[in-house]
Amino acid sequence: MEKNNVPKFDLVSPSDFRYNVEQLMPYLSEEAFVKYKSLVESGLAHAWAKRGIISEDAANEIVAASEQVTAAEVYEEETKTNHDIIAQVNMIKSHLRSEGKSTEAELAVHRAATSYDIVDTANSARYRDAFYNVIIPDLIALETAWIKIAREERDTLQIGRTHLQHAEPVTFGFAMASFVSRFGERILHIKEAVDKLEGKFSGAVGTYGAESLFINDPIEFEKEVLDQLNLRPTQISTQITQPEPVVDMLHSVITSFGVVANWAYDLYNLQRPEIAEIGQPRGNDISRSSTMPNKANPVGLENIISLFKESMPSMVTTYLDQISFHQRDLTNSASQRFIPETLNIFDYAIRRATRISSSLSINKHNMQKNFEMSSGYVTAEPLQLLLSSYGLSDAHKLIGELSDAAQSEGKPVFELAKEDKALSKYLRRLSPEQVEVLSDASKYIGCAPQKVDEVTNFWEQRIQELSAEIDQALHK
């Protein structure tokens, strides 16, 4: 089978030579797909044996033969059968024959199954395993890295930015805590969606017609088959499982990717030389230009954003694949074969985000410097609020004009306010704490540090529980 080894760079998809997560291949490669389809056939054989419809020996023979089947031989056989599942069934039979196994086993392979009993069930199982074994742990690693930064920078003053303009102060840890919270929610969303992936064993049009030839309670039998793979049946199926659980899973992936892309954009911008609040070491994620050797290009962050732009539109395909004519048409088949590519790219980006997060440097000096650019003006907000509460009408407008003057004179707005006689009767009512905030904008961070604690503690515990749950599931 010489030809089944291909030169890695004769390939066309970057998922296969540039952005490949090797650890996912046991679940997402074509070989893995064949393996999981064999697992379903094996599960089916066991279920028949439990019912006494075939012997335990026959079931065990089918399992042994199924384990030998390779994608290469299935593809070879498919050139004759023009059908991938018939090809795989033939290969299982061929291994039975070559091992001199019983006719009973050979006749029992794939019994009462339609192709998509195998395909949809295998896909749900391998996606679930990819998430449990690789992707969810990777998500947890990123969340953990972010919790660490949020805590470390809990009190690191940073100017908040809205509309790209300086707004009120935050702390960098507070900004990170926002991503911790959003991403934490997404991890739970992914977990929930993955746990809803379903299998089926209901035959060609979902009525259990074929199964009914052999047993009286095929709906119960379906559960027994799927139990072998730790899956639940779809409530009612056509030839295929209901499409929505897979759509929901991909939605949870893409929205998680969106949170990471938002984070990447922010860090990318904070590394602009004029801002320079964040740094990264040269290496995989920061590379020099090919012609400008002085440059430090944040290519890792750019790569994450670019892969988001690549993956996100695939949701359109997924929404279209909800529509399948009558008891199913096959126009969702080729398109769904690209789902593993999306999962692989997503996980690649997650891993890269974790690597970047682990080596970030925070430039507190520049954060302070940028904050000070505006520290005299951002107190316009508390000033107008307080003066208004002490009876000044039109405070928003007056303080707005005062801020304009402050900015053109380069003086703090509170200084100008103090020079303004019309305001003195209101200023007099300020408490010492209020005066302190107006004199020193760094005091105006509200509950930022408290929120960091609340959010990081919550999510630390929540992902520990999740981790434990995943571990338990994997080791049972």
Site for a second copy in 346-365 (CB under 8 A): none
* 389 makes contact with a second copy (CB under 8 A): yes
By the rule CB under 8 A, 374 interacts with a second copy = yes
Minimum Å distance from CB 473 to a second copy? 23
> What does the DSSP assignment read for 380-447?
HHHHHHHHHHTT-TTHHHHHHHHHHHHHHHT--HHHHHHH-GGGHHHHTT--HHHHHHHH-GGG--TT
Residue 195 interacting with a second copy (CB under 8 A): no
CB of 384 to a second copy, least distance (A): 6
258 near a second copy, judged by CB under 8 A: yes
Helix axes 30-50, 218-227, angle to 10 degrees: 130
When binding is defined by CB under 8 A, the residue of 67, 358, 447, 473 that contacts a second copy is 447
Site for a second copy in 44-103 (CB under 8 A): 70-72, 75, 81-83, 85-86, 89, 103
DSSP secondary structure letter of residue 323: -
265 neighbors 257 (Cβ within 8 angstroms): no
The two most distant CA atoms of the chain are separated, in Å, by 104
Work out which of 57, 67, 155, 329 binds a second copy, going by CB under 8 A: 329
Q: Which of 388, 435, 439, 467 binds a second copy (CB under 8 A)?
A: 388
Name residue, tokens 């997060």. 357
- Cα 40 vs. chain centroid, distance in angstroms? 27
Listed ranges 139-147, 160-168, 416-424, 460-468: which one lies at the site for a second copy (CB under 8 A):
160-168
Q: Is 279 in the site for a second copy (CB under 8 A)?
A: no
Cβ closest to a second copy, residue 9 vs residue 472: 9
CA 27 to chain centre: 17
- The full DSSP string for 389-406 is HTT-TTHHHHHHHHHHHH
Instruction: Compare residues 373 and 471 and give the one whose CB is closer to a second copy.
Output: 373
Is residue 227 part of the contact set for a second copy (CB under 8 A)? no
What is the H or E stretch that residue 361 is in? strand 361-362
Applying the rule CB under 8 A, the residues between 12 and 41 that interact with a second copy are 12-20, 24-25, 28-31, 34
**Pairwise CA distance, residues 256 & 271, whole Å:** 23
Which region, judged by CB under 8 A, interacts with a second copy, from 60-68, 135-143, 321-329, 414-422?
321-329
